[in-house]
A and B are shown apart, each in its own frame.
Chain A
Amino acid sequence: MVEIAVTHRGSEFARVVALLDQFGKDHGLAPEIVADMQVAIDEVLTNISKYAYTDNAEHEIHIRFQVRGNVLEAIIEDDGIAFDPLTIPPPDLNLPLRERRVGGVGMYFVTQLMDNVVYERRGEVNHLVISKRINK
């Protein structure tokens, strides 16, 4: 298992991507699996960065990656407002260019790219687990 904490402001999200690259190498994961997790993590972090905090303080987001059996799992925790990202409605994919918004696509990517997504509010913490089968 590896862990990392990054500021919610986004300036350190690239460190998470780099950590996943290394983690993928260390565990012999297929680049495709690592890429799906990197996209999903970027969406989750972006979401937290945009919506979780109403104050101006800096907050830490904690992320853990682990391989459990046949599954690559990421656990993301933030101390923002209670919010279940699975309640975001899926985007309307049929709108023309002028009316398309990217909002909503991010969490949709997460649910589509991952095999399992579970949200829980634990005390003052949003606890999100996203996982993908690695089919070794």
Chain B
Amino acid sequence: MDVRQEKIGEVSVVGVTGRIDSSTAPLLEKHLTENLGAEKVRVVLDLSRLEYISSAGFRILLLAAKRADDTGSRFILCGLGGKVRQLFDLGGFLDLFTIVGAREDGIAAVQ
């Protein structure tokens, strides 16, 4: 898994390439914790290059969404492809997160 971070205006865009599983989830957690550390921040998580995500990864995403909730921040996911969307659907996670299509939609949605 590789994580790439970008700042577009006030928005932090975190892009994940590869797989999120029990081995790689701690690195994702580190990035999300850093980005969601302050109050009222805006974070877009771009999953368009993600191959799959296991429950270890979903745990990190749930924690991030709760943290964003607690700090008045926005945390939006975008770019869910076929396999990744299937896993979100299977786990009942589609309704728990704000999910948009493309990265630009995500950046627009958190403004």
Identify the stretch in A62-70, A77-85, A104-112 within 8 Å (CB) of chain B at 4 or more residues.
A104-112
- Do A46 and B22 touch (CB < 8 A)? yes
- Do A109 and B87 touch (CB < 8 A)? yes
In the complex formed, the residue of B with least CB distance to A47 is B55
**Contact of B8 with A by CB under 8 A:** no
- Do A39 and B65 touch (CB < 8 A)? no
Residues of A within 8 A of B66 (CB): 97-98
- Do B83 and A42 touch (CB < 8 A)? no
**Contact of A45 with B by CB under 8 A:** yes
Query: Could you tell me the distance in whole angstroms from the C-beta of A18 to the nearest C-beta in chain B?
Result: 10
**Contact of A17 with B by CB under 8 A:** yes
Given contacts A97-B69, A100-B96, contact A39 B54 (CB under 8 A): yes
Query: Could you tell me the distance in whole angstroms from the C-beta of A89 to the nearest C-beta in chain B?
Result: 14
Residues of B within 8 Å of A, CB-based: how many? Answer: 23
Complex formed: what's the CA distance from A12 to B104 in Å? Answer: 37
Query: Could you tell me the distance in whole angstroms from the C-beta of B22 to the nearest C-beta in chain A?
Result: 5
- Do A100 and B62 touch (CB < 8 A)? yes
Residues of B within 8 A of A91 (CB): 91-92
Query: Could you tell me the distance in whole angstroms from the C-beta of A57 to the nearest C-beta in chain B?
Result: 20
Residues of B within 8 A of A17 (CB): 19, 21, 23
In the complex formed, the residue of A with least CB distance to B59 is A102
- Seen from chain B, the residues whose Cβ lies within 8 Å of a Cβ on chain A are 19, 21-24, 51-56, 58-59, 62, 65-66, 69, 83, 87, 90-92, 96
Closest 6 CB pairs of A and B: A93-B92, A106-B55, A102-B59, A14-B23, A42-B54, A42-B21
8 more A-B residue pairs beyond the given contacts A35-B52, A38-B19, with a C-beta to C-beta distance below 8 A: A13-B23, A39-B52, A42-B54, A46-B55, A93-B91, A105-B58, A109-B55, A109-B87
